[in-house]
């Protein structure tokens, strides 16, 4: 028996009572619970660690190994399609990416849950890398953390639209970021990474937000797997040309 405010309760009765209570969940299917933000902080730590290693070790070994490189993809270094999302380059670049993660990442993670949040970040980065590989120069290289970060913002806008919230500020911010990168990086075509991140991030957001409540996890996993396979198929097709 367990003591209560009035008398005592049987442990089996308490367990049976809890079993009948549905766990509250968010729009995306994540369990509502206090605290959180662990995955966001881990991603921030990884971005910062990569930048620090390149700062203190001559030759920027982390950047050269992880950065998205079309030339390297042709030689089978396919991990760069994902690891490019951990590269920021300059101090300003890593600061901007960390700021986006700190301001938007924690709130988005609380809505998505840790695993959905991490998958969103990585798949949005994959989308940016895929578009850059398919349309960018064969010897080009680009940093991917920015494309993954704006993918988070695009997915957040889709979730807000699903809940009938005003998304005009979100669309305005994404448009400004796109225009800025097109103007600054037009000749290098690095803006392709950003466009791919926004598009794929929005698609991931739609898959997560509009999955039917029944078998929601299965629908989300299937949709995400299909999106990843589509990106990989585009890469494979480009390699055959």
CA atoms within 13 A on the CB side of 105: 25
pLDDT average, residue stretch 214-225: 93
Q: Is residue 145 part of a domain?
A: yes
Q: Give the C-alpha separation, 65 to 200, whole Å.
A: 24
pTM assigned to the model: 0.85
Q: Give the C-alpha separation, 109 to 101, whole Å.
A: 10
The predicted pLDDT at position 136 comes to: 92
The predicted pLDDT at position 237 comes to: 97
Q: Give the per-residue SS3 of the chain.
A: CEECCCCEECHHHHHHHHHCCCCCECCCCCECCCCCCHHHHHHHHHHHHHHHHHHHCCCCHHHHHHCEEHHHHHCCCCCHHHHHHHCCCCHHHHHHHHHHHHHHHHHHHHHHCHHHHHHHHHHHHHHHHHHHHHHCCCCCEECCHHHHHHHHHHHHHHHHHHCCCCCHHHHHHHHHHHHHHHHHCCCCCCHHHHHHHHHHHHHHHHHHHCCCCCCHHHHHHHHHHHHHHHHHHHHHHHHHC
| Nearest alpha carbon to residue 113 among 186, 32, 196 | 32
Has residue 21 got a pLDDT over 60? no
Condensed to tens digits (0 to 9), the pLDDT of residues 156-195 reads 999 999 888 888 888 888 888 777 776 766 556 778 899 9
CB 180 within 8 A of CB 119: no
pLDDT average, residue stretch 69-93: 92
Q: Is residue 44 part of a domain?
A: yes
Q: Give the C-alpha separation, 201 to 207, whole Å.
A: 10
Q: How many domains does the chain have?
A: 1
The predicted pLDDT at position 198 comes to: 93
The label of the residue with tokens 């442990």 reads 11
For 90, the domain range is: 26-240
Q: Is residue 184 part of a domain?
A: yes
| Distance set, CA 56 to CA 31, 52, 94, 114 (Å) | 41, 6, 15, 31
CATH label of the domain that carries residue 210: 1.20.1540.10
Q: Is residue 15 part of a domain?
A: no
The predicted pLDDT at position 71 comes to: 94
Q: Is residue 236 part of a domain?
A: yes
Condensed to tens digits (0 to 9), the pLDDT of residues 196-219 reads 999 999 999 999 999 998 888 999
Query: Long-range contacts for 174-183 (Cβ within 8 Å, ≥24 apart)?
Result: 174/150, 174/198, 177/150, 181/146
Q: Is residue 36 part of a domain?
A: yes
């Amino acid at each position: 028996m367990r003591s209560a405010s009035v008398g005592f309760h049987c442990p089996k009765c308490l367990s049976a009572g809890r079993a009948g209570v549905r766990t509250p969940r968010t729009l995306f299917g994540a369990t509502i619970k206090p605290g959180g933000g662990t995955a966001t902080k881990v991603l921030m730590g990884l971005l910062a660690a990569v930048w620090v290693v390149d700062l203190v070790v001559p030759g920027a070994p982390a950047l050269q190994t992880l950065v998205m490189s079309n030339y390297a993809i042709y030689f089978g270094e396919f991990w760069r399609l994902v690891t490019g999302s951990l590269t920021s380059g300059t101090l300003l670049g890593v600061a901007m990416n960390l700021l986006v993660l700190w301001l938007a990442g924690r709130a988005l993670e609380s809505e998505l849950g840790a695993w959905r949040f991490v998958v969103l970040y990585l798949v949005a980065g994959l989308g940016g890398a895929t578009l850059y590989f398919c349309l960018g120069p064969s010897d080009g290289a680009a940093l991917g953390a920015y494309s993954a970060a704006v993918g988070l913002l695009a997915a957040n806008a889709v979730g807000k639209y699903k809940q009938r919230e005003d998304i005009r500020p979100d669309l305005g911010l994404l448009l400004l970021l796109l225009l800025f990168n097109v103007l600054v990086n037009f000749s290098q075509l690095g803006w392709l990474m950003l466009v791919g991140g926004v598009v794929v991030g929005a698609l991931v957001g739609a898959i997560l937000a509009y999955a039917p409540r029944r078998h929601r996890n299965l629908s989300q996993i299937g949709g995400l797997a299909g999106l990843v396979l589509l990106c990989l198929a585009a890469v494979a097709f480009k390699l055959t040309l």
